Each structure stands twice: as C-alpha cells, then as structure tokens.
Amino acid sequence: MSSTPLRKLLKLQEADMRLRDLKTRLETLPKEMNNIIAKRDKLLASTGAAVAKVKAVKLRIKQEEDLIAELNSSSDKLRQQSALVKKNTEYQAMLNSIELNKQKIGEAEERIILAADELEKVKREGAKIKFANDAEIKNLKVEFEELFSFSKVVKEEIAKLESARPGLMTDIPPALLSPYEALLNGKGNCAPLVTAPNENCGHCQLKITAQTAVAIKRGEIAFCDNCQYMLYDPESVE
Ligand SMILES: [Zn+2]
C-alpha cells in the first residue's frame, strides 16, 4: 500500500500543510519582534523620564545655590562700600539692601530644603522605576533572542521541506497532482485532500454521492461533485 498515489499525495500534503503553517508563523515573527522593540523603547523612555526628573530637581537646587552665592557676594560688596559712605541716608539704603539680600537668601534656603526632600523622593521613585524597567527589559531581550533563534529554526525547516518537495511529487500521476496543486494554491486554507466523515465532504460538508463513497472505500481518490476537493477514506490507507 505504501506506494499508492493516495499515500504519496497524503505525504505531500502533510509536508505542504507543515510548510504553510511554518510560513504563516514566520510572517508573524517580524511583527512580534517589532512589538518587543517598541515595548523596550517605551521602558527606556520611562527610565529616561525618571532620570530627567532627578536632574531637573538637582538643577533647581543648583540654581538656588547660585542665587545665594550671588546675593552673598552682593552683600559683601555693599558692606565694603558702606565703610566708605559718609551720608547716613546712603548708608541706610545699603543696610536695607543687605537686609533684603538676607531675606532673599533665607527664602532660597527654604526652597532648597523643600527641593532636597523632593530630590530624595524622585531619586527613590526613579530607582524603583529603573529597577522594574531593567528587569522587564532583560525579559524582553530574552524573548527577542528566543524569537530570533526560532525564526532561524523555522527558516531551516522551510528550506528542508521545500527541497524535499520534488522528491515527494515523483510518481504521482499528473491527473492527481495538477488538481492537488490547484487546490493547494487556490483560495482558503483547507487541505486539498479531505476525508468524508458520515459521507459528507470534509470541505463543503455536502453529502457525497453513493458512487463517490464506494470509490473512496476502495482506496481511490475521488472529487467532490460540489466543491471539487479531493476525497479519500482514511481507513483505506491504514
Ligand atoms: Zn465538497
């Protein structure tokens, strides 16, 4: 029985269906890989945003410190000048300016204290975010590498199946091979050879004729009168 055209066609179909599955799978891989890259980029952006928050608070503290330094040096200058001033009103104006600087310094110092608390908070939050994101990125990297090696395996199997295909087609009569190929390359994802459980066509589900039922029981390949798919009886190949 092993050399019957039916057996050969079924073997060919098995290879072709596997080939189809693999190609479909391969087609979805770039999209899956791009999704992983997009997820990673999002995580990197999230870490970047957390780092930027810390930087922004540090910058604010630095600006306040610069302001304090400026006010201190301005007060130092005023003190030096005040020693040379003769007029009491001018002297008083300088003292007022120094007093105003002192006030501004006090305000800046208060803002620094608040900003320092905020810095601790954004640092803590940032570290937490980075830790979680790094772990997730590590997982994504593993996932990506798995998909990449999987795609190599799939490509190799496709190449193997394609090179074996001509060998599987030998000795199949053209009268069977051409309709088989036409159905294979036609619309739909149905296999060209289908069984007929309860004498219903496995493709279109309509009742097959008595004549067709007898033919497939004998181990022949028959064509469905309705949809032209190729019918066979699995018991005849056992
Ligand atoms: Zn049918």
d(CA 6, CA 219): 8
d(CA 146, CA 148): 5
Please, which residues bridge with residue 80 across strands?
none
Query: In this structure, are 109 and 204 located in the same domain?
Result: no
Q: Is residue 10 part of a domain?
A: no
Query: In this structure, are 188 and 159 located in the same domain?
Result: no
d(CA 85, CA 91): 6
Query: In this structure, are 25 and 114 located in the same domain?
Result: yes
**How does 165-185 read in b/e, with b if 16+ C-beta sit within 10 Å?**
eeebeeebeeebbebbeebbe
pLDDT, residue 3, reads 55
Query: In this structure, are 222 and 122 located in the same domain?
Result: no
pLDDT in tens, the chain (238 residues): 445 899 999 999 999 999 999 999 999 999 999 999 999 999 999 999 999 999 999 999 999 999 999 999 999 999 999 888 889 999 999 999 999 999 999 999 999 999 999 999 999 999 999 999 999 999 999 999 999 999 999 999 999 999 999 999 998 999 999 999 999 998 877 899 999 999 999 999 999 999 999 999 999 999 999 999 999 999 988 7
Q: Ligand 1 centre and the CA of 217: distance in Å?
A: 17
Looking from the CA of 22 toward its CB, the CA atoms found within 13 Å total 19
Q: Ligand 1 centre and the CA of 209: distance in Å?
A: 11
Query: In this structure, are 152 and 187 located in the same domain?
Result: no
- The SS3 call for residue 205 is coil
pLDDT, residue 190, reads 85
Q: Ligand 1 centre and the CA of 175: distance in Å?
A: 18
Query: In this structure, are 145 and 177 located in the same domain?
Result: no
Q: Is residue 185 part of a domain?
A: yes
Q: How many domains does the chain have?
A: 2
Q: Ligand 1 centre and the CA of 229: distance in Å?
A: 6
Query: In this structure, are 155 and 215 located in the same domain?
Result: no
Q: Ligand 1 centre and the CA of 231: distance in Å?
A: 8
Q: Ligand 1 centre and the CA of 164: distance in Å?
A: 30
pLDDT, residue 83, reads 86
Closest CA to 22 of 151, 190, 117: 151
Range(s) of the domain holding residue 187: 173-238
Q: Which residues surround ligand 1, an ion (CB under 5 A)?
A: 201, 203-204, 224, 226-227
pLDDT, residue 1, reads 43
- Residue matched to tokens 């301005």: 74
Q: Ligand 1 centre and the CA of 2: distance in Å?
A: 26
Q: Ligand 1 centre and the CA of 230: distance in Å?
A: 8
Query: In this structure, are 26 and 119 located in the same domain?
Result: yes
Q: Ligand 1 centre and the CA of 234: distance in Å?
A: 16
Query: In this structure, are 26 and 41 located in the same domain?
Result: yes
Query: In this structure, are 155 and 198 located in the same domain?
Result: no
CB 5 within 8 A of CB 179: no
**How does 16-25 read in b/e, with b if 16+ C-beta sit within 10 Å?**
bbebeebeee
CB 223 within 8 A of CB 179: yes
Instruction: Give the DSSP letter of residue 203.
Output: T
d(CA 206, CA 180): 20
Q: Ligand 1 centre and the CA of 224: distance in Å?
A: 5
Query: In this structure, are 35 and 142 located in the same domain?
Result: yes
Q: Ligand 1 centre and the CA of 219: distance in Å?
A: 18
